[in-house]
Structure 1
Amino acid sequence: MTPSPLRIGILGASRIAENAMIKPATATGHRLVAVAARSPERARAYAAQHGIERVVGSYAELISDPEVDVVYNALPNSLHGPWNLAAVQAGKHVLTEKPFSSNAVEARAVAEAARVSGVTLLEGFHYLFHPVNRRLLDVVRSGTVGAVTRVETVLRMPKPSENDPRWELALAGGSLMDLGCYGLHASRMLSDVCGGAPVVTGTRHEEYASGVDSWFDIELEYPGGARASVVTTMLDEKYHFTFRVFGTNGDVLVHNFLQPDVDDRVSVTVDGRTSIEHLGTKSSYTCQLEAFADHLSGVSALPIGPGDAVANMTMIDEAYMHSGLGVRPTTIL
Structure 2
Amino acid sequence: MSEPLRIGILGAARIAERAVVAPAKALGAEVVAIAARSPEKAQAYAAQFGIAQAYGSYAELLSDPAVEVVYNALPNSEHVRWNLAALRAGKHVLSEKPFGSNAAEARLVAAEPKDGLVVFEGFHHRYHPVYKRLLELTGNGTIGQVTALKVQMKFDCTDLSDIRWLWPLAGGSLMDLGCYTIHVARDVAQVLGGSVRPVRASATAHAGLDPRVDATATVIAELPGGATATLESSLEGPQEMSILVTGTEGTLFQPNFIDLTSDDRLIIETGVGQRVERLGTVSTYTHQLGAVIAAIRDGAGFPTDLDNAIANMDVIDECYRLAGLPVRESTL
TM bin (shorter chain): over 0.9
1:304 matched residue in structure 2: 304
Q: Deviations over 1:160-203 (max 9, x none)?
A: 41211111010000111110000000000022343411111111
2:89 matched residue in structure 1: 90
2:138, 2:130 → 1: CA distance? 13
2:111, 2:227 → 1: CA distance? 32
Query: Shift of residue 65 of structure 1?
Result: 1.7
1:116, 1:69 → 2: CA distance? 14
Q: Is 1:204 paired with 2:205?
A: no
SS at match of 1:67: coil
1:49, 1:13 → 2: CA distance? 11
1:218 matched residue in structure 2: 219
Query: Shift of residue 117 of structure 1?
Result: 3.1
Query: Shift of residue 313 of structure 1?
Result: 0.3
Gaps of 5+ in 1: none
Query: AA paired with 1:126?
Result: H
1:107, 1:55 → 2: CA distance? 28
1:253, 1:284 → 2: CA distance? 17
Q: Deviations over 1:60-103 (max 9, x none)?
A: 12122211100000011111111111111222111011111110
SS at match of 1:155: strand
Query: Shift of residue 272 of structure 1?
Result: 5.5
Query: AA paired with 1:157?
Result: F
Gaps of 5+ in 2: none
**Contact 1:148/1:193 (8 A) holds in 2:** no
Q: Is 1:285 paired with 2:285?
A: yes
SS at match of 1:241: strand
1:321 matched residue in structure 2: 321
**Contact 1:167/1:173 (8 A) holds in 2:** yes
Q: Judging changes above 3 Å, is the alpha-carbon distance between structure 1 residues 252 and 223 closer, same or farther for their aligned structure 2 residues?
A: closer
1:234 matched residue in structure 2: 235
Query: Shift of residue 140 of structure 1?
Result: 1.2
Q: Deviations over 1:184-231 (max 9, x none)?
A: 000000223434111111111111222101111100012431110111
2:76 matched residue in structure 1: 77
**Contact 1:194/1:225 (8 A) holds in 2:** no
* 1:150 maps to which of 148, 151, 161: 148
2:227, 2:160 → 1: CA distance? 38
**Contact 1:194/1:226 (8 A) holds in 2:** no
1:110 matched residue in structure 2: 109
Q: Judging changes above 3 Å, is the alpha-carbon distance between structure 1 residues 299 and 195 closer, same or farther for their aligned structure 2 residues?
A: closer
SS at match of 1:232: strand
**Contact 1:264/1:278 (8 A) holds in 2:** yes
2:96, 2:264 → 1: CA distance? 23
2:17 matched residue in structure 1: 18
**Contact 2:87/2:114 (8 A) holds in 1:** no
**Contact 2:199/2:221 (8 A) holds in 1:** yes
Query: Shift of residue 299 of structure 1?
Result: 6.5
Query: AA paired with 2:242?
Result: T
1:57, 1:39 → 2: CA distance? 4
2:313, 2:300 → 1: CA distance? 26
**Contact 2:256/2:264 (8 A) holds in 1:** yes
**CA RMSD after TM alignment:** 1.3
Query: Shift of residue 141 of structure 1?
Result: 1.7
Query: Shift of residue 328 of structure 1?
Result: 0.5
For this pair of structures, how many residues does the alignment match?
329
1:169, 1:9 → 2: CA distance? 27
Query: AA paired with 2:154?
Result: R
2:260, 2:251 → 1: CA distance? 19
2:213, 2:159 → 1: CA distance? 14
1:184 matched residue in structure 2: 182
Question: Quick one: percent identity of the two aligned structures?
Answer: 47
Query: Shift of residue 307 of structure 1?
Result: 0.2
SS at match of 1:42: helix
1:3, 1:42 → 2: CA distance? 32
Question: More displaced, 242-251 or 165-174?
Answer: 242-251
Q: Is 1:164 paired with 2:162?
A: yes
Query: AA paired with 2:122?
Result: G
2:272, 2:38 → 1: CA distance? 57
1:49 matched residue in structure 2: 48
1:207, 1:30 → 2: CA distance? 41
SS at match of 1:307: helix
2:255, 2:283 → 1: CA distance? 15
**TM value normalised by structure 1:** 0.96
